[in-house]
Chains A and B, each alone.
Chain A
Amino acid sequence: MANVKNVRGMQHINEHAEFVASQPQPAPNAGDAPREAGVSSLLEYDPQYILQVRDLKKHFPIKDGMLSRVTGYVKAVDGVTFNLKRGTTMGLVGESGCGKTTTGRTILRLNGDKTAGDVLFNGKEVYDLTKKELHDARTKMQIIFQDPFSSLSPRMPVGEIIGEAVREHNLVPKAEFNDYIDDIMDKCGLQSFHKDRYPHEFSGGQRQRICIARALALNPEFVVCDEPVSALDVSIQAQIINLLEELQEQFGLTYLFISHDLSVVEHISDTVGVMYLGNLVEYGDTDDIFRNPLHPYTKALFSAIPVPDPTVKMKRIVLEGSIPSPANPPEGCKFHTRCANCMEKCKHEAPVQKEIEPGHYVVCHLYDDAAEVSK
């Protein structure tokens, strides 16, 4: 185990170096080793879930001074636990800076090493995959980035942007390559003559379609959508959301949909997780969460949504102040500094996740008794 860890450390330093291939690997039976690691981590694989995340943590070091000593850690993700069923969409909501994006990227192993916790993708611990296995797994998990203006290379024609990874992974024979790209572009609402154009010739909505096509060209099972519509206009937003839904039906995709727009999340998601300062404070079915929000933060968040109806005057819970720094989060429950229902207990003791209704989890001291009753 220690040996494996060491290899991973080196990988991290030389992420693009190829020397890792020379390390001894259980090549003929590659699937076995991570499986064992998964068992040892005590998180059992349940085939109905494509993704199981337990107590995931990602801390970024803060370096200071001339010697770049580590003076502290930004606890971007500090204990996130959820399961994601195959073919469903999970929405991840929260204020900016609460760790939504870092969660998405850490799950895909795009942020270097995790700090703690387990990520099981199809029953395999993502962080125990060897370089080659990770390379293969990349085709199964993809990401759509937030800003379609900065996530496309300005020097590559669109066909090349979409096809680059397909070629890298040898997904289709050379002869069929062009037809394959045409087919994917067609599914994402792009014309085949767009192939030779460059990204600057497209509008925001079109660019987001290119990003989607790029992700889907690899035939993935799981796609992290990191705020795919927040940079777009309202009418374009609707087009992209509809496209994502159509593609999900067609390919049986699973989405992790990260957004701060609650109305979009309610529309597209089957389950919703609410994040605050690196923690998942509430998690459950979309209907449960939106009809019956339990955590005080979720309540405040939902009451802040403006309703497009002037006759409805909502009673609003306005949160005072802003989100505390994740480098120095408050003791006890992280939300206690802004919570209206703050008790003495909240200031010292961090609450743990409890299942209030079947499938509806909340992390709050207010429900300490309720959880016992339900059991």
Chain B
Amino acid sequence: MAKKKETGYLSAKESRRIAKANRKITDEFEKKYKRKNVPESEYLTEMHDKSNVLEIDDLHTYFFTDVGTSKAVDGVSFEVPQGKTVGVVGESGCGKSVTSLSVMQLLQRPQGQIVSGSIRLNLGDKAYDVTNTPIEVMQKLRGNFVSMVFQEPMTSLNPVFRIGDQIDEVIELHEGQHMTKEEIKARSIEMLELVGIANSEGVYKMYPHELSGGMRQRVMIAIALACSPRLIIADEPTTALDVTIQAQILDLFRSLKDRINSSIMIITHDLGVIAEMADYVVVMYAGRVVEKGTAEEIFAHPAHPYTIGLMASKPVVGKKVDKLYSIPGKVPNPINMPDYCYFRDRCEMKCGPECDGEYPHEISLSPTHKVSCYRFYGQQVSDGKGGEQ
């Protein structure tokens, strides 16, 4: 409680001091992004593994707010292999969305900045390091090679433009140089048909408010897929939808992924959706990855206490329990993170004095399954150590 007071009620003088210091830091970052005519060598890079579409390496994304620096993402690393689906799970505020926005370079600037780490994006012939890419170049990548489906189909479409115009815009911007207006329109209508909208000509002329939630989400997906991106980031694509519509949208994602052979990074807090869609699962807590592995590993042998708690707290149809498990306590304040394991205060599997030490490093339980918890120290699999390579 005292902590909250400390950060919640700053004196105006203190707040001004922090704001000034922040501006100094963020201006530096802004300058870097706004440069023009940057030589390619600065942001081109090599993928560590050619079969990955995306490699995130020790990413730190901070928000420099007037009440202090909020470490929203604090050392996240994972990969998205070509043609696979990676699911990212965690509670709200754990940094799932911020990670994905970092990849798109769509963070709320200037407060939100990628402080360190690298995000390598594989575009086939070239690989870009998003953290060093200036805005100018990034605009050409977004929508074209990597695109995003947002959580709220109600708020992410522009209410004053027709659906058709909004899809046309994307195609025109990225592939439109050699296309006539009619060709672009034909392409847009084709996209609407691809996402399962029967009345595609009619919907092309409609405004977003004339469509239901499921239909709007389909339009969002059509916009995201318009240029056949190599990576689709879906940020809670079905959270606002009903189960029956959710089933339709998930089916759509699966079939489209196979058709254009792209990878999906799906962000959700619904473990059911993850189990159904994902090949690999990344569990995040308080800005860090606490566990990652293949879907089978995570669901069959969850290792981190947080993952176990998350699974136990969700009622499952067909499994009767008298009382649902609920993880005690709450997520630590992102401005004042403890220096020991972030989950220690909520953990019910206290392993002993070592948990008071610094944040546990990643342990490999198998070549693909990794967990950050002191309970598994000493169980390291020999070949897992070089897994990063």
Contact = CB atoms under 8 A, between A and B. Distances in A.
Interface string A226-257: 00000001111111011001000000000000
Contacts of B246: 304, 306
Interface string A255-268: 00000101110110
Interface stretch (B114-122, B127-135, B174-182, B273-281): B273-281
Of the candidates B274, B275, B324, the one having the most CB atoms from chain A within 10 angstroms of its own CB is B324
Contact of B245 (A238, A303, A322): A322
A41 B113 CA distance: 67
A207 B314 CA distance: 21
A217 to B, nearest CB: 24
A312 B198 CA distance: 31
Interface in A303-319: 303-312, 316, 318-319
A262 B314 CA distance: 11
Interface residues of B, number: 46
A96 interface: yes
Contact of B244 (A241, A264, A304, A312): A304
Contacts of A290: 317-318
Contacts of A309: 275, 299
Interface in A280-330: 290, 300-312, 316, 318-319, 321-323
A147 to B, nearest CB: 13
Contacts of B274: 308
Contacts of B244: 95, 300-301, 304, 318-319
Contacts of B273: 306
A264 B319 CA distance: 11
Contacts of B316: 263, 307-308
Nearest to A243: B326
B212 interface: yes
27 contacts: A95-B242, A234-B270, A234-B310, A235-B309, A235-B313, A238-B314, A238-B324, A241-B315, A242-B324, A242-B326, A260-B242, A263-B272, A304-B243, A304-B247, A306-B275, A307-B272, A308-B275, A308-B316, A310-B275, A310-B276, A310-B278, A310-B296, A311-B296, A316-B251, A321-B198, A322-B215, A323-B212
B311 interface: yes
Contact of B248 (A234, A307, A312, A319): A319
A203 B214 CA distance: 29
Nearest to B243: A304
Interface in B112-160: none
B321 interface: yes
Of the candidates B92, B242, B246, B320, the one having the most CB atoms from chain A within 10 angstroms of its own CB is B242
B327 interface: yes
Of the candidates B92, B214, B317, the one having the most CB atoms from chain A within 10 angstroms of its own CB is B317
A310 B295 contact: yes
Contacts of A323: 212
Contacts of B214: 322
Interface in B324-378: 324-327, 330
A303 B247 CA distance: 9
Nearest to B281: A310
A309 B321 CA distance: 17
A323 B276 CA distance: 24
Contacts of B327: 235, 238
Given A235-B310, A311-B296, A305 B317 contact: yes
Of the candidates B198, B248, B320, the one having the most CB atoms from chain A within 10 angstroms of its own CB is B248
A104 to B, nearest CB: 18
Contacts of B317: 262-263, 266, 290, 302, 305, 307
Given A233-B91, A238-B327, 11 more contacts: A96-B242, A234-B91, A266-B318, A302-B317, A306-B247, A308-B272, A308-B299, A310-B299, A316-B251, A318-B248, A321-B198
Nearest to A266: B317
A249 to B, nearest CB: 11
Interface string B231-248: 000000000001111111
B271 A238 contact: no
B51 to A, nearest CB: 21
A68 to B, nearest CB: 21
A233 B275 contact: no
A203 B248 CA distance: 33
Interface in A39-92: none
A143 B97 CA distance: 33
Contacts of B321: 267
Nearest to B277: A306
Contacts of A238: 313-314, 324-327
Nearest to B198: A321
Given A233-B92, A234-B314, A267-B315, A239 B242 contact: no
A286 to B, nearest CB: 10
A326 to B, nearest CB: 12
